[in-house]
Structure 1
Amino acid sequence: MKGVLRWLGLVLCAFVALQLFFVLRIAAMAVLAPESTTFQRSEAWAQLSATGQVRWRQQWMPYGEIADTLKRAVIASEDDGFANHDGVDWNAIEQAWERNAKAEARAQKTPSRPPKIRGGSTITQQLAKNLLLSGERTLLRKGQELVLTMALELLLSKQRILEIYLNSVEWGNGVFGAEAAAQHYFRKSAARLTAAEAARLAVMLPAPKRFEKTPGSAYLAGRTQTILARMGSAELP
């Protein structure tokens, strides 16, 4: 019995130490820009394993030097309640569950067409996952994501969260952050993006590698127009 209790105590201590490590990392991000994220390092390793080389384009841009058009477009596309929620949009999660249940029901009737599964994660949740967590999908990892989401919201301002997100999110194969994306797709700085260009970049975020290969897709063009129409009501932090 003492051995079991000792083992449980060690597990608890390790868990607390890990949470403290994460919290300290996040607190430091209030003043220090993260050099890389767990997701980026995972992508770099995958590239190295597959090709023997790493393609990585990224250039940090301060919040004030990223065009408001891109901030509005990303909020309108990814998380329209970003400025007001506490890190988790429970209504969006509930709606995502309902959409996914319907998609799976339709897929059972037509097995040849796999269901399109959509998430309800906020920008803060996406940042928590990409910054510090692996890509595995388990209840334990989802629980850790929620803990990190709360820490981000408590320790960083909304502007800082959005700044880190826009500078680290993937926008193509080896393309990370707003500046690299603006240069890669439009040969201009992220400070000079038009509303249409910003909307197009925002629409790519759920599947940037796929859209990078199909820039002329009808879905991309149609979704861009939808986000353009929503951008006017997107609230910036």
Structure 2
Amino acid sequence: MNPDEDPKDTPDETPPENRAESDPPAPPPEPEIPELTPPEPEPEVEAAVPLAAEPKLREEDIQTPFGEPPSPFPPRVEAELEAEPEPEYIEAPPESYELPPEEPSYQPAPAAFDFGEPEIPMPQTQRRGDKQRARDARINLDLDLGRIKRRKRYGLFLTTVSVLFIAFVLAPVTWAGAYLLFDPPSTLLMMQRAAEGQTIRHQPVPINRMSPHIVRAVIAAEDANFCTHDGFDVEAIQDAMRANARGGRTRGASTISQQTAKNLFLWPERSWVRKGFETYFTALIEFMWPKRRIIEAYLNAAEWGDGNFGVEAAARSRFGVSAADLTPLQAARLAAVLPSPNRWSAESPGPYVRRRAASIVERARIVRNERTASCALIMDRPS
């Protein structure tokens, strides 16, 4: 027995039934005591940096969902821990964040300028998508430029057509329509004579206040086919061309409609341009005006010399009577001087004007008998 061992601690191995009869038991063999080796020291563990403790959720803070019964277990009471000294926190070094590597781009080395870096950026390498976009932009630009050019051409064409329409259709039609309703206050020939120093006397009157002798005399002297043609006497034009081809004095073939168009709308000088406009306005007034209005406008705008325009001013200036009181001879003399009113005189006619006036009186009688002035005079119309 180990002297250091307490006998009370040694178990009794003799069975209980033989313990009374037997001799005192022999001492049991001493058990082998294993040698105790000292424990190896544990490796020191570096003190970890304590993290901030998460807040504990109490049972009271947990809200029971609607319709769920409360928990049968009583709320857990945590033992209060003794106050421990607050650990000293050691600040860990800040973590370093590495940015993702950027794509390499062409950046030219800065030029060594004394006054700083250049303001104009250097060209960078273009990618395939940039080239496609640049190509599309050029195509769209070409299309836009093409549209602009086409619009300019169409715009110029439409502008030209509009100007021509206004100048040759709208304005003349409006002008002729206005003179259909009232007599023009003045003409270009009146303005020219006023600029030359003449005193203009112009008193328009309606045709019913004119003598029928002056209407028949003018038709007989100037345009015998006035009521039958449409503004142009083709037979008279052919006769004038044959006479002019033989030589001698130039013979005219203008109708009363042509002379009315020239007196009201155009200038007196002879030219092919004026003749072209005269043809256009003649056709216009023949289409828009009745024959009665054409002869009325002609008699109110014709020149009779010395600044007298219109048959009313000529009758009062030459014979001292109104246009309604003219006799057949007076009317014939006024009609005889119409081709050259500033050279010939109706009040004191020469031999040529007398012969011409006598011929006009005879032809005016024929016009009345044959009723060739019925388009202008109501009294000559057959009943």
Q: TM-score, length-normalised on structure 1?
A: 0.85
* Mapping of residues 146-157 of structure 1, within 5 Å: 146-157=279-290
Q: Per-residue deviation at 1:205?
A: 0.3
Of residues 9-18 and 74-83 in structure 1, the stretch that sits farther from structure 2 once superposed is 9-18
Match of 2:175 in 1: 25
2:337–2:346 contact (8 Å) kept in structure 1: no
> C-alpha deviations, 1:148-191, integer Å up to 9, x for none?
00111111110011111101100012010001110111100110
Distance verdict in 2 for CA 1:219–1:125, change over 3 Å: same
State how far apart, in whole Å, the 1-side matches of 2:281 and 2:154 are.
Answer: 28
Equivalent residue in structure 2 for 1:167, among 286, 295, 300? 300
What code does the residue aligned with 2:323 have?
A: A
* Mapping of residues 50-199 of structure 1, within 5 Å: 51=197, 54-103=198-247, 115-199=248-332
Aligned residues: 220
Q: Per-residue deviation at 1:10?
A: 5.3
2:180–2:289 contact (8 Å) kept in structure 1: yes
Counterpart secondary structure, 2:304: strand
Q: Per-residue deviation at 1:36?
A: 1.3
Distance verdict in 2 for CA 1:213–1:163, change over 3 Å: closer
Structure with higher RCO (Cα < 8 A, 6+ apart):
1
Match of 2:361 in 1: 228
What code does the residue aligned with 1:73 have?
A: A
C-alpha root-mean-square deviation of aligned residues, in Å?
2.3
Counterpart secondary structure, 1:222: helix
Of residues 7-16 and 21-30 in structure 1, the stretch that sits farther from structure 2 once superposed is 7-16
Counterpart secondary structure, 1:209: coil
Q: Per-residue deviation at 1:27?
A: 0.9
Distance verdict in 2 for CA 1:4–1:121, change over 3 Å: farther
State how far apart, in whole Å, the 2-side matches of 1:84 and 1:69 are.
Answer: 20
Match of 1:219 in 2: 352
State how far apart, in whole Å, the 2-side matches of 1:213 and 1:162 are.
Answer: 21
**Percent identity of paired positions between Structure 1 and Structure 2:** 38
2:244–2:251 contact (8 Å) kept in structure 1: yes
Counterpart secondary structure, 1:229: helix
Where structure 1 has 5 or more consecutive residues not aligned to the other structure, the ranges are 104-114
2:302–2:310 contact (8 Å) kept in structure 1: yes
Distance verdict in 2 for CA 1:38–1:18, change over 3 Å: farther
What code does the residue aligned with 1:132 have?
A: F
Q: Per-residue deviation at 1:214?
A: 8.9
2:232–2:255 contact (8 Å) kept in structure 1: yes
Q: Per-residue deviation at 1:4?
A: 9.3
Of residues 2-11 and 94-103 in structure 1, the stretch that sits farther from structure 2 once superposed is 2-11
Q: Per-residue deviation at 1:233?
A: 2.4
The structure whose Rg is larger is: 2
Q: Per-residue deviation at 1:202?
A: 0.2
Q: Does 1:206 align with 2:355?
A: no
Q: Per-residue deviation at 1:16?
A: 2.5
Higher helix fraction (1 or 2): 1
What code does the residue aligned with 1:29 have?
A: Y
Match of 2:165 in 1: 16
What code does the residue aligned with 2:166 have?
A: A
Q: Per-residue deviation at 1:143?
A: 1.7
Of residues 149-158 and 30-39 in structure 1, the stretch that sits farther from structure 2 once superposed is 30-39
Where structure 2 has 5 or more consecutive residues not aligned to the other structure, the ranges are 1-148, 376-383
What code does the residue aligned with 2:258 have?
A: Q
Q: TM-score, length-normalised on structure 2?
A: 0.54
